[in-house]
């Protein structure tokens, strides 16, 4: 009898855990805001030839690092998106990833990745001060 009750409690616990933690609708508001801010930084700073640099590059690197999804940016001496559609496609992929994986993220995790990216690319930070 005891083991049967334990089994039922374990099953109920796992079902509740699945509902509370693994439901794509449980994405934390501050993580969504973080993604929205990073995407806005990229979009607002796209140059006329879809050139990106400085803080936009930090946002791209951060979103790539968080999601594991590479952007379509062509990196080089001058980094560019292959048109506005390139950015929109990346935005859709990153937001879809967030919808599917957001339950596993905390604002502390994504902010720590942002700080790591800044530390790895200090030349992008120095370009912001100019």
* DSSP helix/strand/coil, 75: coil
37 pLDDT higher than 90? yes
pTM of structure:
0.76
| Inter-residue contact 39 to 111 (CB < 8 Å) | no
Neighbour-count burial of 65, counting CB atoms closer than 10 A to its CB (0-12 exposed, 13-18 middle, 19+ buried): middle
Q: CA-to-CA distance for 14 and 20, rounded, in angstroms?
A: 10
Residue-wise pLDDT for 5-24, tens only, equals: 555 445 555 554 554 455 44
The DSSP bridge partners found for residue 79 are 52
Residue-wise pLDDT for 44-100, tens only, equals: 988 788 888 889 999 999 999 999 999 999 998 889 999 889 999 999 999 999 999
Neighbour-count burial of 24, counting CB atoms closer than 10 A to its CB (0-12 exposed, 13-18 middle, 19+ buried): exposed
């Amino acid at each position: 009898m005891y083991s049967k009750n334990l089994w039922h409690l374990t099953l109920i616990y796992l079902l509740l855990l699945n509902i509370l933690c693994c439901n794509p609708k449980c994405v934390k508001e501050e993580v969504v805001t973080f993604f929205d801010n990073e995407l806005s930084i990229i979009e607002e700073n796209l140059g006329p030839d879809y050139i990106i640099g400085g803080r936009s590059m930090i946002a791209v690197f951060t979103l790539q690092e968080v999601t594991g999804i590479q952007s379509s940016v062509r990196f080089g001496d001058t980094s560019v998106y292959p048109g506005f559609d390139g950015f929109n496609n990346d935005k859709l992929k990153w937001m879809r990833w967030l919808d599917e994986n957001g339950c596993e993220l905390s604002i502390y995790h994504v902010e720590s990745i942002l700080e790591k990216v800044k530390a790895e690319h200090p030349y992008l930070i120095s370009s912001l001060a100019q």
